Each structure stands twice: as structure tokens, then as C-alpha cells.
Chains A and B, each alone.
Chain A
Amino acid sequence: MSEHRRHRHNKKAGGKSFVILPIIFFIGIFTVLYVALAPTFDPLASAVGTLFSDAEKDYSTSYKNIFVPVIEETTVSAETDKKGESSETPQKTVDVEEVEFPNYGNQFGDIRIPGCGVDCPLFLGDGDIALRNGAGIYYGSGIPGYGKTILVAGHNNTFFNGLKNAEPGQEIYVRTSYGNFVYTVRETAVVEALDVTAYDLAADEESLILYTCYPFDEIGLTTKRFFVYADFTSGVVIDKDAE
């Protein structure tokens, strides 16, 4: 068959192949690429996937404030009277279900030591935003009312500068949305920054420990910490059995 005669078989220019073949090629290209790159692509894709979320990240430096001060004797619905076993004064209890447990970074209360001039918001977590705006509870410790050690940090040149005036016997007032608490300063101490024996987070008794850098009013980063230890004096008790 001559070239002249062969060409005469194609009477129409173009045709379906001009649409179908590029589509087949396109499918083929991704199939080939997938087969060739699958061993490296799959772990890479799952690793990249962890970098993404369903929504855009919020970069605001503001924080959520869930603190609504409790005015004593008015939050009747959440409180019941319960006689303490060894105490003659009634202790108020709050059902655990009634407590809005704060999330990390929330302001959920405030802390006040009239004798020291400390008066600032209280956050859960002692991250930058918390310490920029008040005092922060170490996330691995307890919160007021739960019968655990509460470890609170603050900067010595801002909100916790007044701790330098702390003395045994002074009262510390902590207010939260679920109740108010009073602690009494037992002692103060200066310890090394990395001394983990300065506190016991596993203690069964509720106590409040405030700490900040030491010495006060000096320029530079210090390697010592100033601790204020306070015992639970009064406040609501969380009834965990209500769960």
C-alpha cells in the first residue's frame, strides 16, 4: 500500500481520539507517578497531613475569660451544706458537674494577698500569655477545691513582685467561678530553680504554693526561686462523688 493510498483512509481531521487520548494519558500519568512514588509518597503525605487542620489557626494572643465571681450565699443551686467530720463549721460543697473546669490558657479566677499588694487574674497553665496577664497554675498540678497541691507561677517584676513582702500568717484569697477559697501562708523559702523537692504535687492535702524568680528587683535571669507555702483554710469542697 502506498503512502498516497494509506492516507486516503483518514477522511476526517481530528475525531474522538483528540479528546479521549489526552484523558487516557492524564490518567496514565498519575497512575505511573503514583506507582513510582507510592513508597515514599504515602508516608510523606500522612506526615504532611498532620500539619493541617480543618480550620485556619487562630493567632490571636487574647485569652478566654470564664471567671464570674461567686458572691457567697447566692449560688444556692450549686451548693449544699455538709457537716465536716471534725469541724463544727459547715463546709460548702459543689457538685463536680456544676464546675466549669477551665481549659489550658483560660482565666478562671483571681488571686489576692492584701498584705503583699498582690492582686491579679489567675489562669490555668503558666504559658507566656498567662504570665503576661497574671499568675498561672502549673498544668500538672491541681486547681482550688480539688484537694491537691496548687502550684502557681508569676513574674517577680510584675504581678508577683509583692511576694517579697509575704510573711507567715498572711491570708491568700482565691476566687473562682465555682467558689471562693482562703489559704494561710505557712512559710517562705528560697530554693534553686531546678530543685523539684521544693514541692510535692502528689500530696493528698490541698495546699497553695506560689513561686517566682529570686532575688527581687534585680536585672538578669536568676537561678533561684522564691516559694510561698500556704495551707488551705476555708472554701468550697468539690464533691467528686456526684460524677
Chain B
Amino acid sequence: MSKKPMSSRVRDIVFGILSFFLSLLFTLFSFILVIESTLMNKNAWIDNMNRSNYFIDKTDEVRDKLKDLTYASGIKEDFFDGFVDEILVTEDTYNYIEGYFEGTTTVIDGTAFRQKMSVALDEYVKKTNQKVDSEQISELIKQAEHIYTATVAFVGFGSLSVYFLAAKKVLPLVLTGIIILSLGLIAVLFFCNKWKHRAIKYFYYATGGAFLANLALSLFLSISGGAKNIKLDSRSVYNFVVSFVNSVNLSFWICTALFLLFSVALYFVYLRLFKNASKRSGI
């Protein structure tokens, strides 16, 4: 701290501006942390899928779409029920998400489905003793595999992959940068104020601003209903997205609550330190 004291007004303005930047950093930190813990977190995806009954709904959707194929192909309506189950859909979805996060694939691998269908179809033909044409059969398997992979995959995910992976790479670095800058600002505010209650006051302003910013976002998401009115063709994806946005909203509410807690705590620390300072200065 400089030996020559700054005038009170200039000091308040300078520390006020630093406090504002600290508030901005806190807000950015909470926003990025929420994105990192939800959108960029594989486990959050899987959790929300389980919570929204994604795999059960998706299996029903796949079966319904494949059922339409049975009407056109002469096989029995319940043919696909025999091997298109929740386990197959879950495994393929897990691998798909795993590969997507690793940046190794953006498509569903239909190999297991194709193999199971070939075996099931062979048995079915033997059992029913119906006329078959190998070209028609391979076209049927190809079409069924296409329906399966297209239904299990997320629409538009392939084209978003580049941005997703770039963001996944950059966000931890940004988060680290924000932490370093925040610690720097905290150190400046703390050590440049001899009376510590003043430093605490500036921290309070910063956490208070971040609290209001998080509160505004949480309220917006809650009042607007999150993703309730989103237009998606797939019911299972709709339920998943709604559940996901709700969990993002919950994360924002947690951040809001934490900043509120910090603000209240800092306020009481400020009061205590102010009293001590007043005693020491004889007020």
C-alpha cells in the first residue's frame, strides 16, 4: 500500500470499479461452471436421460418407426420387438455420447442392430417359409438400420460437433483464467485497504452483483418455463431437453443461493469489522 493515501473519493471510485470487475468475473465464473457441470458433462447427460425415461421412450419410438416398416415389408408387426430393446438402445446411446464427447464419432453405430436383425430375419424366413429375394432383404436391413440410427441419434449433433469440441477445450482454460484474475483482484482489494471492513465491503458489492445476475437468469428460466415449449419431433428428446434445462436452471438457483449466502456472510463480517474499527478509532 502506498504511503501517500489516496483521496477518499478517488479511492472509492477505483476500488468500486475493481469490485465491479470482480462481480463480472464471479458471474462469468458461475455461468461457465454451470455450463461445464451440465452441458459439457457426460454424466449430466446420462443422469438426465435416466431421469426423463429417455431410453424407454426412445425404444418405443424406434419400435413404432420400425413397425411402419413391417407394414411395407411383409414381416410381422411384432418382429422388431424381439431384439430392439432398452439394452440395445442404451448401449448404442452410451457409445454415441462417449464418442461424441471424445470427438471420435458423431453417428450411431448400427452394427449390433444390423447383426441382430440379420439373425432374426433368417430365423423368421425359415419359420414362415415365405418367398424372399436377397436384394429386397438387404434393402430391408439397410432401411431398418437407417431408421434405427437416425432415430437414436440427436438431430443436428453432427454439425454442432466442431463447436462443441472447441468449447469443451476452451472453457476449462477460460475458467482457470477467471479464477486467477479473481484471486488477483481479491488480493488487490484486500491488501490495498488497511481497514479490512472496506475490503469486505467491496467483496460484498461483487457477490451482491453476481447474486442479482444469477437470480435474474434463474427467474427468467423459471418464469419462461425453461424448454417447455420447444418444438422437437421426438418425444423422448423433448422430455430429455426439458429435464436438462431444468437441471441447468437448478444449477443457476444453487449459484444464486451461494452468492446470496456469501453476500449475507460478508455483510455480517463487514459489520463486525466495522465495529472493531470504530472501537479502535475511538468512535
CA distance A163 to B48 in the complex (A): 48
A72 located at the interface, meaning its Cβ lies under 8 Å from any Cβ of chain B in the complex: no
State which residues 26-62 of A face B: CB under 8 Å: 26, 28-30, 32-33, 51-57, 59, 61
Contact flag A158-B283 (CB < 8 Å), given A28-B20, A59-B235: no
Contact among B125, B231, B263, B270 with A53 in the assembled complex (CB-CB below 8 Å): B231
CA distance A131 to B124 in the complex (A): 24
From residue B113, how far is it (CB to closest CB) to chain A in Å? 16
A3 located at the interface, meaning its Cβ lies under 8 Å from any Cβ of chain B in the complex: yes
Contact flag A7-B275 (CB < 8 Å), given A59-B235, A218-B136, A221-B139: no
Contact among B124, B132, B213, B229 with A54 in the assembled complex (CB-CB below 8 Å): B229
Contact flag A29-B213 (CB < 8 Å), given A8-B283, A13-B275, A219-B130: yes
Contact flag A4-B71 (CB < 8 Å), given A51-B230, A53-B229, A220-B140: no
Contact A219 B136 (CB under 8 A): yes
Contact A26 B74 (CB under 8 A): no
- Enumerate chain A residues within 8 angstroms of B24, measured Cβ to Cβ: 25, 28-29, 32
Which of B88-96, B98-106, B174-182, B200-208 contacts the other chain?
B200-208
State which residues 1-56 of B face A: CB under 8 Å: 5, 8, 16, 19-20, 23-24, 27
From residue A160, how far is it (CB to closest CB) to chain B in Å? 10
Residue of A nearest to B283 (CB): A8
Residue of A nearest to B215 (CB): A26
Contact A219 B274 (CB under 8 A): no
CA distance A75 to B125 in the complex (A): 52
- Enumerate chain A residues within 8 angstroms of B16, measured Cβ to Cβ: 21
- Enumerate chain A residues within 8 angstroms of B140, measured Cβ to Cβ: 219-221
Contact A13 B212 (CB under 8 A): no
B190 located at the interface, meaning its Cβ lies under 8 Å from any Cβ of chain A in the complex: no
Most buried by A among B75, B205, B235: B205
B211 located at the interface, meaning its Cβ lies under 8 Å from any Cβ of chain A in the complex: yes
State which residues 177-231 of B face A: CB under 8 Å: 194-195, 201, 204-206, 208-213, 216, 228-231
Contact B73 A220 (CB under 8 A): yes
Contact A25 B212 (CB under 8 A): yes
Contact among A32, A131, A220 with B133 in the assembled complex (CB-CB below 8 Å): A220
Contact A157 B72 (CB under 8 A): yes
A22 located at the interface, meaning its Cβ lies under 8 Å from any Cβ of chain B in the complex: yes
CA distance A13 to B228 in the complex (A): 46
B159 located at the interface, meaning its Cβ lies under 8 Å from any Cβ of chain A in the complex: no
Residue of A nearest to B65 (CB): A128
- Enumerate chain A residues within 8 angstroms of B139, measured Cβ to Cβ: 220-223
A132 located at the interface, meaning its Cβ lies under 8 Å from any Cβ of chain B in the complex: yes
Contact B8 A6 (CB under 8 A): yes
CA distance A8 to B277 in the complex (A): 9
Chain A interface residues toward B at CB < 8 A: 1, 3-4, 6-11, 13-14, 17-18, 21-26, 28-30, 32-33, 51-57, 59, 61, 128, 131-132, 155-158, 213, 217-223
22 inter-chain pairs at a CB distance below 8 angstroms, sorted by A residue, are: A3-B5, A3-B195, A7-B195, A18-B201, A18-B205, A28-B209, A29-B27, A29-B210, A30-B213, A51-B230, A51-B231, A51-B232, A52-B229, A56-B228, A56-B229, A57-B229, A218-B132, A219-B74, A219-B125, A220-B132, A221-B69, A223-B136
Chain B interface residues toward A at CB < 8 A: 5, 8, 16, 19-20, 23-24, 27, 64-65, 67-75, 121, 124-125, 128, 130-133, 135-137, 139-140, 143, 194-195, 201, 204-206, 208-213, 216, 228-232, 235, 238, 263, 267, 270-271, 274-275, 277-278, 281-283
Closest 4 CB pairs of A and B: A220-B136, A25-B209, A22-B208, A26-B212
